[in-house]
Structure formats: C-alpha cells, structure tokens
A = this chain, B = another copy of it.
Amino acid sequence: MSLSTPSPAARKPRGEYAKSAEKRAAIVDAAFEEFAESGYRGGSLRGVAQRVGMSEAGLLHHFRSKSALLEAVLEHRDEKARERVPLDSPDGAEVLKGLVDLAAYNASIAGVVDLYTTLSAEATSADHPAHAYFVRHYAFTREKVERAFAKLDADGRLRHGFDPRQAAITVIALMDGLQVQWLYTRDVVDMADALRRVFSVFVDIDWEPVPPTE
C-alpha cells in the first residue's frame, strides 16, 4: 500500500527561485532511488550526491539533514499515489478498482514498491524518522478502505457476515504482502490479479472488460 494523509502544508520558504526548486526535485528523485535500493539506514548522502551529480555539502544546502531528505521523499511519493486512487469516492467499488489500478501501476515501477516495502519494515522501530509517518499512513488508509466497504455493505454488496473494518485490514495486509513477494519473484506473482480475485470474493463488483493486468 502507498497512500497517506494529505500533507498539512507543503510550505516553501518565500525566497526561493525556480532553479532551486528544480534542483530540489532532482535531489528528491535521486534520494528516492537511493532509499529504495538500500533503505534509509543503508542509504547514504554520498550515494544520493553521486546520483544527482553534486557534492554532499551542496546537497545539504538544500536539505538540512538526511532525515529531512527522507521526509521530502515520502511527501513526494504520497502526492503521486493520491492521484491514482479516488479514496473519497461515494462509490465504494470505485475505491477498490482504484486499488487494483494502483497495484497494476506499481508493477510497472519497481522502485516505488522497493521504497515502500523497505521503509515500512525498517520504520517499525519507534525511533526511525519515518515511524510517525507510517503510523499515520496505516490509520488513514485503513479508515478510507473501511469506509469504502461500509458503503458497499449499505448497498447490500458486501458478502454476508463480513465486517468492513476486518475487510480493510485484510486488504491492506494483502497489498503490502504481495509487494514483498512480488519483488522476489515477479514472474510468479501478479499483484493486481490477486487483489481482483479477493475483491470478487468479498463484494459484488462488475470488473471492466478485464485489463489483463499486465
């Protein structure tokens, strides 16, 4: 999974110029790759600097510390993911379809999956700089998916005896677990397909003409 609460205010100090913003974006991209490959703990500012073609000091002019850089990466990641899933759609089925869509999209960008799985696992430690982020992320996502199931339930489309909250927990766990397994064996695991199958059991949904996942 990969969505989170809208950033309260992606504020930008007044005196910034366009060139600087571009540089910052390039640095965030490089940091994204670095942390995706080696995690936050395993990644280094040196590695980021090399990717972006700058010195470490130059890099630290734009981001005051390694963890500040991680924060920027996570924010950037959320912006992208939020574009893909209509989490607040009044139609619960649209939300689920958005999740399948996201899974299919993720399969085309392994780096995103890598970043998410590595960070979510290492940030279970309470002192990790991304810990609070993921606690928020899970609460937020669980809430949204639960709401989607609740709406389907109200429409009589949730399988009898199913609890929206439990269904949400299960779906999020499934998405997370599929990502790890997929990273090891991409030929065997089809994330979107697996998700679609489970949704078909949980609820009554008409799937599109069937985009054959891949």
Q: Give residues in A with beta carbon < 8 Å to B.
A: 37-39, 41-42, 114, 117-118, 120-122, 124-125, 134-135, 138-139, 142, 159, 166, 169-170, 172-178, 180-181, 183-185, 188-189, 193-194, 197-198, 201
Contact = CB atoms under 8 A, between A and B. Distances in A.
Contacts of A139: 185
Given A39-B39, A42-B41, A180 B176 contact: yes
A135 B114 CA distance: 16
25 contacts: A37-B125, A38-B41, A39-B42, A39-B122, A41-B41, A42-B122, A117-B121, A118-B124, A120-B121, A121-B122, A121-B180, A122-B122, A124-B183, A134-B184, A135-B184, A135-B185, A138-B181, A138-B185, A166-B197, A169-B178, A169-B181, A170-B174, A174-B177, A176-B181, A177-B178
One complex includes copies of this chain to the number of 2
A95 B109 CA distance: 35
A193 B122 CA distance: 25
A interface secondary structure, majority: helix
A46 to B, nearest CB: 15
A77 to B, nearest CB: 16
Contact of A184 (B124, B184, B194): B124
Contacts of A169: 178, 181, 188-189, 194
A172 B181 contact: yes
Contacts of A138: 181, 184-185
B184 A173 contact: no
